[in-house]
Structure 1
């Protein structure tokens, strides 16, 4: 019950923060989510309702589906083409940077090498969602963006293996290099194989159902949504990387989606909408939890924070060293190998939720409470710096994304013109006054031109049977809407044909019209 209550409170916070973010367009929604999480922690009542952070629950119920959806949004062909790049960044860069930074931290602060490796291994994973938040509203080379996204998909596993190696070193006093290499190969390779096999079995079963007479959309969708949880759980129980397994499963499902989208359109549309919805909610959920956790960490450590600032110095040093190593790697191996590209790649290594989850896993691996507290503060510094510094620097060195900035305004103008065309056509049709009034009201709703008073008038008339249409009038209404939608589409088609508007805007509006028309025509979605 406590878990359900905690989730409920955080989800309410997610809904509120996303609404606020919509009204503050010049601030990334991620930062609004972070602030909302901090507020939840500051208020005693809400803070009491939310359970303490549990890294295992967080990984299986939040990170696993997010990585699955990210994998599904990534073409498998792209991964195949960029395999050398992925191995370089997600394995080579992650391992080398963790080792180099651990050695420097050991030398500067006399921190035992295994402890230094624990700190740097936790700082290894990067976060694609956090990167998107710091780059929001700016343009960056597509090659760098792809490299950072692919890196973040796979380097979580490297960080976890390095962390396990550091724990083993701390407990036994031995490096066990060969054992750790074999462990990495087993964990990562096993994750790829198991994730691939399980996802192929699930995919084959779902494809069999969709081509049979016993296909049920609700069951299909439920199987699909449960896939990342089941694969992650099975992989972790077997002892291989659950993260790699769900990413692999996502990649396989990407290929499935592209070649089966018309076999059951309703099912496909529902699935895509659920993925978009889940992605949006989970991403916001992650940063609300991150904000809450950071507030709790700082509050709990408020006494030790001022006693010694070693944690701050280590955190700053770790982040700066990671930045330097990433810059050197980017200078020789990424994109056009210029200083600018290397800087963008270095700053793009933003840390977030997986780093937080790995931090909290330390306490269950034999580390003392005092040492755990220091590690938590160090990683907090790394997370905050990795988000704050790129946000500031990117605003200075990257140009504004004009298409993104203008898109909302352009769509609003086009949508208004489109609806005017539809309404004008309806006014020329031979319709009863009641039908014409209802149809025009429906068309004006496409641009939210109907006032709240007009809505309640329509609602009251429907509720009291004052506007009930006869069967003939219902057919008349449906045909009027269809013709109006046709006129709107023709208007957009002419704009596209004459290259007067960005095609992306036309596709957006076209899809809106088709969705609206499905509410009129589709027997299963009809609301008339």
Structure 2
């Protein structure tokens, strides 16, 4: 019963965090509100206690979140930007582990160098979801957004693998760079292979189930939801990266599901994943907040045992480490940008001027999140029987503090820096969307003409032919308006968009009138609840369609 109550409280907290963030006069990112709500629930007045199991957390929350990120990330941009993504997800991780590790050891001599490397490794993964929560969706330049999303997908695995090697070095007292590099390749490539293979097999299985169940969407959606967990568990069973396996499964699903499945299944799965994404992301930060009081208390006790270190020193360490992380990230991005420019100069290609504001935005976007929290909590309690792990509670406090500090710095500085970053008037995405809408409208127009000609030949009745011609003319006008809306001529596009806005407003008015009458019929008991549900669904679908991006941005 206690578990059920705790889960319900967490779900309520996630829902309330969304309400509070909307109503709050202070504009802060949603994760900060969720952390604050978690800390409030852990206070003695509420006393909600949740034992944080890192292994369970990594299994329950991380695979589905990374799976859906891999599924939704633009694959073409992921391939085109593979250079900067890998430079951040692999090169910067190693640079961070070494650089921050030495800095932490210098700053806090009580933390040995191997333990400092472990802390640097667990601080290397970034959280693109938190960045989106800070700046808002589609506020970052598209190219930078794709780089940050790709980095976040990949560096979760590279950071945690580096963390495991550092912890192993602390426990055994030995470290082999060659063996660690080879193991990393096996773990990473193995995880990618397992995820891709499982995505293909499970997609094949879902198609078979769809044939056996008359394409029932609910069954397929449930099977789809199990895919990231299967990818993670199978990969971990074979000793490879479960995180990369979940990412690979999400990326591969784009291709294995291409042209497959019904529209009902796609609509339901998108709705379910959107809800789960909101709930799981919210729970990760609320759980982080729930750990705050105990983390601060244990770290204070740990610091006192190490030499009666004042509490304010602990917070100063957090700020110093956060600033060091941002500085190292800035240095890495600055060097890679200039190396790329130098290489293009040698090749005779046109060289773009390096924009410092872009580099600064990239540096401030290295916000830490739930992976860091889950990773640091897996630090073992003991090195060996009866020998406690040195400074474990202090490590957890420092990692948690860096998460909070990076969120606060990002939320206060990114909105100031972002307006100075140049953005194209019309992004490539908007241009492609406009051209694709035009092609779709032209294809629909051609298909309509072919269908009308075929049906006209099959009809013998003149009245039926006249009815068909009227319907075809009405539909043809709709697609002509859509073609005009995507026109390169501004006047034609503006007039077509005005026509569609009028049409949308009139249709919305008709839908509201339908819904009002439908509720009146139900309340007067003139129709049954089953009939009411069917008709209400039709009205809701019509409104949902009208609420979409029907009007061109051009």
Whether these two folds match at TM > 0.5 is yes
Partner SS, residue 361 of structure 1 = coil
Q: Which residue of 1 aligns with 2:28?
A: 27
Do the aligned partners of residues 90 and 62 (structure 1) sit closer, same or farther apart at CA in structure 2, a change above 3 Å counting?
same
> Does residue 1:266 correspond to 2:264, yes or no?
yes
Among residues 392, 396, 402, which one is paired with 1:372 in the alignment?
Answer: 392
Relative to structure 1, is the Cα distance of residues 440 and 151 closer, same or farther in structure 2, using a 3 angstrom cutoff? same
What residue is the counterpart of 1:287 in the other structure?
Answer: 285
- Cα 1:177–1:212 change in 2 (3 A) is same
1:333 pairs, out of 332, 336, 355, with 336
Structure 2 Cα separation of the partners of residues 173 and 300 of structure 1: 26
Q: Deviations over 1:93-113 (max 9, x none)?
A: 101221122123223433321
* Post-superposition CA distance 1:18-68 (Å, at most 9, x none): 222233373332222222112111144441xx4211111111111111011
The offset of 1:297, in angstroms, is: 1.6
Q: Where do 1:55-94 residues align within 5 Å?
A: 55-94=54-93
Counterpart contact for 1:21–1:27, Cα < 8 Å: yes
Aligned partner of 2:151 in structure 1 is 151
User: 2 CA distance for matches of 1:364 and 1:194?
Assistant: 32
| Alpha carbons 2:373, 2:399 under 8 Å: kept | yes
Per the alignment, residue 115 of structure 2 pairs with: 115
**2 CA distance for matches of 1:280 and 1:109?**
38
Q: Superposed, which structure 2 residues align to 1:340-379 within 5 Å?
A: 340-364=357-381, 366=383, 368=388, 371-379=391-399
Q: What runs of 5+ residues in structure 2 fail to find an aligned partner?
A: 338-351, 426-498
> Which ranges of structure 1 fall in alignment gaps of 5 or more residues?
404-413, 427-438, 446-454, 504-528
Partner of 1:452: none
1:318 matched to 2:321? yes
> What's the secondary structure of 2:73's corresponding residue?
coil
Contact 1:94 1:124 in 2 (8 A): yes
Deviations 1:351-402 (A, max 9, x none): 0100000111013563836611111111122111111111111222223999
Q: CA 1:208–1:30 in structure 2 vs 1: closer, same or farther (change >3 Å)?
A: same
- Which of 405, 412, 421 lines up with 2:506 in the alignment? 421
SS in 2 for 1:69: helix
1:146-188 Cα deviation digits (max 9, x unpaired): 1111111010111111111112211222221111111111111
Q: Assess, with a 3 A threshold, how the Cα gap between structure 1 residues 103 and 254 changes in structure 2: closer, same or farther.
A: same
User: Equivalent residue of 1:239, what SS?
Assistant: coil
Report if aligned partners of 1:328, 1:342 keep a CA contact under 8 Å in 2: no
Q: Tell me by how many angstroms 1:485 deviates.
A: 6.5
The offset of 1:223, in angstroms, is: 1.0
- Is 2:88–2:151's contact at 8 Å kept on the other side of the alignment? yes
Equivalents in 1 of 2:317, 2:223: separation in Å? 45
CA-to-aligned-CA distance 1:192-249 (integer Å, 9 cap, x gap): 1111111111112223433566543232111111111121111112111110000000
| 1:5 corresponds to 2:5 | yes
Residues 375 and 212 of structure 1: CA distance in aligned 2, closer, same or farther (over 3 Å): same
Contact 1:318–1:382 (CA<8 Å) still a contact in 2? yes
- The whole-number CA distance in structure 2 between the counterparts of 1:380 and 1:323 is 16
Question: Residue in 2 aligned with 1:396?
Answer: 416
1:466-506 CA deviation, whole Å, 9 max, x = no partner?
x449xxxx99x979x98x969x969x97xx4xx6xx47xxx
**For the residues of structure 2 that align with 1:42 and 1:424, how far apart are their CA atoms?**
49
Task: Check 1:112–1:157 CA distance in 2 against 1; reply closer, same or farther (3 A cut).
Answer: same
Alpha carbons of structure 1 residues 23 and 168: separation in structure 2 relative to 1, 3 Å: same
What is the RMSD computed on CA atoms of the aligned residues? 3.7
> What TM-score comes out, normalization by structure 2 length?
0.72
User: Do the aligned partners of residues 213 and 123 (structure 1) sit closer, same or farther apart at CA in structure 2, a change above 3 Å counting?
Assistant: closer
Q: Provide the residue aligned with 1:249 in structure 2.
A: 249
Q: How far is 1:123 from its partner? A: 0.5
Quick one: distance in 2 between partners of 1:378 and 1:425?
58
* CA distance in 1: counterparts of 2:324 and 2:143, whole angstroms: 24
Conservation of the 8 A alpha-carbon contact between 1:206 and 1:220: yes
Aligned length: 451
Structure 2 residue 357 is the aligned partner of structure 1 residue 297: no
- Please tell me whether the aligned partners of residues 68 and 247 of structure 1 are also in contact (alpha carbons under 8 angstroms): yes
Determine if contact 2:231/2:246 at 8 Å carries over to the other structure.
yes
Query: CA contact under 8 A between 1:221 and 1:271: conserved in structure 2?
Result: yes
How far apart are residue 283 of structure 1 and its match? Answer: 1.4
Q: Deviations over 1:455-474 (max 9, x none)?
A: 7xx4xx73562x449xxxx9
Cα separation, 1, equivalents of 2:105 and 2:510 = 76
Contact kept, 8 Å, 1:76 with 1:252, in 2: the verdict is no
Relative to structure 2, which stretch is displaced further, 371-380 or 214-223? 214-223
CA deviations 1:330-369 (Å, max 9, x no partner) are 1133596332111111111000100000111013563836
Q: 1:96 and 1:212, CA in 2 relative to 1: closer, same or farther beyond 3 A?
A: same
Whether the aligned pair in 2 keeps the contact of 1:192 and 1:244 (CA below 8 Å) is yes
